[in-house]
Structure 1
């Protein structure tokens, strides 16, 4: 297929296969992030035997490494010239390393000291994050290249987030139903060490397939994508351009908003299995059913998000639903702490948790999609100011934030568990009730604070539908003047 690249991708409407293949790639990130959020802390703490604070610190070290790697990867991708464009070479190259390193993190060596296992966890976490960066940043940046239409971007990112949920929840369900099964020595399936290696192998295979399928499925779009101009690029030039680009006011607002929102979501996911296992004392079979409630919530967000974007606009939509999502997340815990719920095992508890879980996932996912689409809209605003398209650089920040969901969440969870002296190798129903209560007492106010900070930052974002459309018109007019030799 051949096509002349358009002056600007503003008018492009995307076919359903393009959206599906684009979204499919996020299965890999969904599998990785769900595994980090739900299993990594409890695996290395309760199964391998590392202190929770040590596990959190190891993941935080990897996250700090990401803070430097992500923008560099974005800049390199933005300036890459090849017959396969700026993004696809990185997407293809990342597939096998992502799968291999994810397999390694679930197979720590036996008989190593705690210090050696700590180093192993850091090394494997850094590697998997490095390679997932090599895929995720170029892939996410495609959302701003494939189309610049205000609502079409939201729809495209809708598919990305939906497949991310499907990938993560599929492996979550398989983990509980196939791999993490109770046996004679381990009455609680998620504490059975035998299943984690098999889970890691299956997850690695799913990630490899998703990345390659998405790269191949979107390959035919390469002729429509922008090529960077030929120029000499030095490290000094890249550093100056990175600084001037990232100093964009609306971008800084989004960076803060998405960071605090990711911290809140990441904390909830990372410590969620502790709440389900010890606070609510649910069985492994009951916990596995949350897969369906989360998938239901993600599917509902697929319908809700475009309506919010079209009806309220992205900023107003996010500001409306994010606080509701926060209330759903901490509501049942707050009610239990206030003594307003019946004891564990009551027929009321499990359905209530499922219903609120659906609402939390639906609204939280919709908020995340809207914020990602808002980042995409910054690309043209920045291009008008700087003359450069920096999709990779801006979405490097988005990728970092997405990884912060698990990284900061695990770190914060580890710190919270250490603060309340939560025991290792704990059994449900045998933990001091005051320690379990303290888990809720410290989690709820921290979560409220994070949601509040996210909302404050989002109020500083300044790009509306009208401003975005005006920016597109100005860019087209500028491109026409350049083509006519009127402007350089």
Structure 2
């Protein structure tokens, strides 16, 4: 593989490490909430006795509402004008609301029917995800506009992905924490207290990007400026029409659709590992021993965290050397090898081998969110060249809706697949041989197939470094000045220039 020539990042386009880390703390909160919802859902099955298929539906149904609320929040953020900017007010308020609602959601009442628990959790989840969207959508959009540089975007995403991985370090240990008999009377009480801890953390840390980061406002291209009479506030009907027009333009943009498709597939495959793998480890490797199985689920998650953290900066270097698309191919191929290894390494004869596959399939998640965020930022530039508008909020909201849809699909598929294999929680470690075989097969085959299709999609992705640089030059020429020299920033509440 030849090394293409690439541009150097000028000082004006660089983002300080302090700002990258603060933006990355938003990723930690974002991932922690998503991982907690997926990991803690096992309480509904093992703690409350709900049917796994219903548990899966509880993860999937709110995504249908997100299909509307996420792009709507993106549109609102893109068109907000305030003294604090377009993104920061929503990040601040959303973090507080999401933390409070998350705590309340997991205070599960006792001795109720399965139907009660289903509707209680469904309604609570919808409210939670609305608050979550208010925080997450503007936070994502903020990251796309921190720099216009092709490579600096990847470095920002590498840091935020690294910071976000700490959520995946913690999440595999949630099950062990919730069923700690020394601290709690049962798993339900453990979930309630875990939610309190996560909620407080969300509020305290989630507001930091809103306080410390400045927003870059891209000036409207001079050729696109309109008369003052057309810049007045729009009517409700005009705003609705404008929203659907922008939504249609976004979802029709083919390079963006390829990124969304690949993200859905790779992340869905990973979440199948997270949601389905726990059952394989507990009931196949450890014969139904939930405590010992949960411990190894935690250790496997820790190994995955270490491997993913290391892979992130390897991916960033590969992207600089070979381009974002080639770096994606390499990392996903390594993850496919890791998924395939599970068939051999997940064995009751030698349980320690469970820790080997995560070393390799962790490259999938490490590469995905390091490269995809950076590539979406490139897409935003190309969209501006074609339409004259900046739609980071709309692009980011749809992209992350796809991520959440992948999470929901994994949860739903995990529940239905678990039923399809013949799994019965009442049998404990006495599951049939056929059930264990089909559980293992699904755990390996689904993420491998998803990853292969994702590689095929990105093979057709057109934006290279050369094309991205050409787009930037045309945008700067249209604006009449270099973005690298642009000082049109909103002042942050706290000056980080000296950090």
TM-score of the pair, normalised by structure 1: 0.87
Equivalent in the alignment of 1:388: 389
Aligned ranges 1:350-429 → 2 under 5 Å: 350=352, 352-427=353-428, 429=429
Equivalent in the alignment of 2:462: 462
Q: 1:225 aligned to 194, 217, 221, which one?
A: 217
- Does structure 1 retain, via aligned residues, the 8 Å contact 2:178–2:188? no
SS at match of 1:162: helix
Equivalent in the alignment of 2:496: none
Give the CA deviation at 1:225. Answer: 3.2
Identify unmatched segments of 5+ residues in structure 2.
Answer: 1-9, 226-230, 287-291, 483-499
Distance 1:111-1:151 versus aligned 2 partners, 3 A rule: same
- Paired residues in the alignment total 455
SS at match of 2:356: helix
Give the distance between the partners of 1:405 and 1:377, measured in 2 at CA: 23
Equivalent in the alignment of 2:179: 180
Aligned ranges 1:81-480 → 2 under 5 Å: 81-170=81-170, 172-173=172-173, 175=174, 178-182=177-181, 192-218=187-213, 221-222=214-215, 224-226=216-218, 230-233=231-234, 234-281=239-286, 282-333=292-343, 335=344, 343-346=347-350, 349-350=351-352, 352-427=353-428, 429-480=429-480
Distance 1:184-1:208 versus aligned 2 partners, 3 A rule: closer
- Does structure 2 retain, via aligned residues, the 8 Å contact 1:265–1:405? no
Identify unmatched segments of 5+ residues in structure 1.
Answer: 1-8, 483-488
- Does structure 2 retain, via aligned residues, the 8 Å contact 1:263–1:409? yes
Instruction: String of CA shifts for 1:210-269, please: whole Å, max 9, x gaps.
Output: 211222121xx13x4347784544211221122123311101111211112222122221
| Deviates most, 235-244 or 102-111 | 102-111
| Deviates most, 233-242 or 59-68 | 233-242
- Does structure 1 retain, via aligned residues, the 8 Å contact 2:54–2:415? yes
Give the CA deviation at 1:179. Answer: 4.1
CA RMSD, Structure 1 to Structure 2 (Å) = 2.4
Give the CA deviation at 1:425. Answer: 4.4
Equivalent in the alignment of 2:27: 26
Give the CA deviation at 1:279. Answer: 2.2
Give the distance between the partners of 1:105 and 1:177, measured in 2 at CA: 20
- Does structure 2 retain, via aligned residues, the 8 Å contact 1:24–1:210? yes
Instruction: String of CA shifts for 1:50-79, please: whole Å, max 9, x gaps.
Output: 101111112211111111211111111111
Give the CA deviation at 1:480. Answer: 0.9
Equivalent in the alignment of 2:228: none
- Does structure 2 retain, via aligned residues, the 8 Å contact 1:98–1:131? yes
Give the CA deviation at 1:182. Answer: 4.3
Give the distance between the partners of 1:214 and 1:185, measured in 2 at CA: 35
- Does structure 2 retain, via aligned residues, the 8 Å contact 1:30–1:167? yes
Distance 1:330-1:475 versus aligned 2 partners, 3 A rule: same
Distance 1:58-1:136 versus aligned 2 partners, 3 A rule: same
| Deviates most, 176-185 or 375-384 | 176-185
